[in-house]
Amino acid sequence: MLSSVLPVVVVQQLASALYDTALQIVVKERYSSATDPGLNASVAANSSPRDVSNFFMTFSLINQLVPIIPSVFLAKVGDRGWRKVPIVSAFVGYLLVRLTLLLVIVLRWPLEVVWAGGALYGLCGGFCSYWAGVMTLASLGSTAEERSRRLMSVELLYGVGGLAGSLMSGHLYYVFSASIGPGSLLVIISMALFLLCLFYCIFLLKVPEVSSEDGEEERSGLISVSDSDSPTPDVINIVLLFAGAIVFDVAGGATEILLSFEIVEPLNWDATQVGYGHGSWYAVFLTSFLGVMLMSRCLSDVSLIIIGMLSFASGIYFMAFVTETYMFYLARSLTLFSLIPTPTIRSMLSKQVNGSSYGIVLASLQLSFQVASLAYTPAYTKIYQATLSWSPGFVFTLSSIICVLGIIPISIVGCRSPRRRDYQSIPED
């Protein structure tokens, strides 16, 4: 356990949750203080939702665009035997982007400096390299039969770290605010935790070895076997799985608008409420994990994916009508199983290829998400800004419709998959 990738996942997300709350509230306070001082307090607090959403749109686009080429290079390096390189490189980037936010807070630099940190983060591979690297190590350390539960366990630990960090972040935000600036303590703790992760990955993290028996199991799953020695992946199923994952990711892209939606009217949350809101999202990791553990005994991977998609579609649809804090949590409660689809799809894809190709396949999927975000991030942002006056949650309704469409390719995979036969044929007389 001490040398596995699981502790990294917990500590990394704990650090990320602290940073996310700090960034969100720093952006809100900077744009609120930049409004016309002649406006009254209520108008000033809500006069810049477009500025806030534009900032997060640009920051997200930088984080998604810049890592595209570096993540492919790092994935190839990982598949050549250097499995830890994508993760180590990503942690260097995490440290750099958090350093820029700390300088913005302490030295009162322009907020746009954070975009430069995002570019450095992307050049180091970004989340694409980090998460593909983690999923690769988790896949290598599991058999084909247990892989869905294994990857969902990683998602669970990711959620546990995020939940703990989110619940603490709102209370820690204003500590030492008078001396070094609000949010600085959160960023310092976040950097210290990332530095700990970096040293752990370099000196303690071990790469699982794939046995010959596991190698045979990795060839099982949705594979068309022409002969026992040279199995051939079902390309159509792979394409359908990629399509379903990308459409689901596009639908989930609307949750980026929550960064703006939470801190302007009608919610207008403070740091503590933002932390709790993030915590409610990370709690879904726990419910999704329990859902996989309970339902995987009697349902196929395809059925689990469809249930998760329907859970997300219903929750994000209800989010469109949220005007009070309690309604936000009611909407979040409907997304209990919304994190099941993506790790389950990763599991199904990993069964298509040999262990030596896990890195490039999983990185390609993550890279597909990055490319898709280049389109949906500005699209959702502009739709949100255009409908802000009459329906701030309209983008969530659109997201729900797209999510339902993502069920189509996954259902086709289910129809094409061979069914297990639990009976024996009776020989003729």
User: Which pLDDT value is given to residue 119?
Assistant: 96
Q: Enter the pTM of the model.
A: 0.81
* Angle ∠(226,229,232) on CA atoms, nearest 5: 40
| In contact, 262 and 280? CB cutoff 8 Å | no
Q: Which pLDDT score, from 0 to 100, does residue 220 have?
A: 42
- Mode of pairing for the β-strands spanning 232-233 and 223-224: antiparallel
CATH superfamily of 6-205+229-416: MFS general substrate transporter like domains (1.20.1250.20)
Cβ 162 vs Cβ 15: under 8 Å: no
Query: How far is 77 from 306, CA to CA, in rounded Å?
Result: 34
Residue 353 corresponds to which tokens in the numbers above?
């290829």
**Rounded CA separation 363/346 (Å):** 10
DSSP output for 311-348: HHHHHHHHHTT--SHHHHHHHHHTTTTTTSHHHHHHHH
CA distances from 308 to 222, 249, 250, 305, 345 (A): 20, 13, 15, 5, 11
Q: What is the pLDDT of residue 329?
A: 96
The answer to whether 359 and 75 are in contact (CB under 8 A) is: yes
Predicted pLDDT at 2? 55
d(CA 75, CA 89): 11
**Structure tokens, 193:** 């935790």
Domain boundaries, the chain: 6-205+229-416
Quick: pLDDT tens for 396-427.
999 999 999 999 999 999 998 765 444 444 44
CB atoms within 10 A of CB 390: 7
β-sheet bridge partners, residue 224: 232
pLDDT in tens, 263-275: 888 898 999 999 9
Per-residue pLDDT of the chain (429 residues; tens, 9 = 90+): 556 889 999 999 999 999 999 999 999 988 887 654 544 444 444 447 888 999 999 999 999 899 989 998 998 898 888 889 999 999 999 999 999 999 999 999 999 999 999 999 999 999 989 998 998 888 887 777 777 778 888 988 999 999 999 999 989 998 877 778 889 999 999 999 999 999 999 999 988 776 444 444 444 444 443 444 434 567 888 899 999 999 999 999 999 999 899 988 889 899 999 999 999 999 999 999 899 888 988 899 999 999 999 999 999 999 999 999 999 999 999 999 999 999 899 888 877 666 556 667 777 888 899 889 989 999 999 999 999 888 889 999 999 999 999 999 999 999 987 654 444 444 444
- The encoded tokens of residue 413 equal 């995979």
At which residue do the structure tokens 């709790």 appear? 276
Q: What is the model's pLDDT at position 211?
A: 47
The pLDDT of residue 404 is 97
Residue keyed to tokens 């207008």: 268
Q: How far apart are CA 8 and CA 12, in angstroms?
A: 6
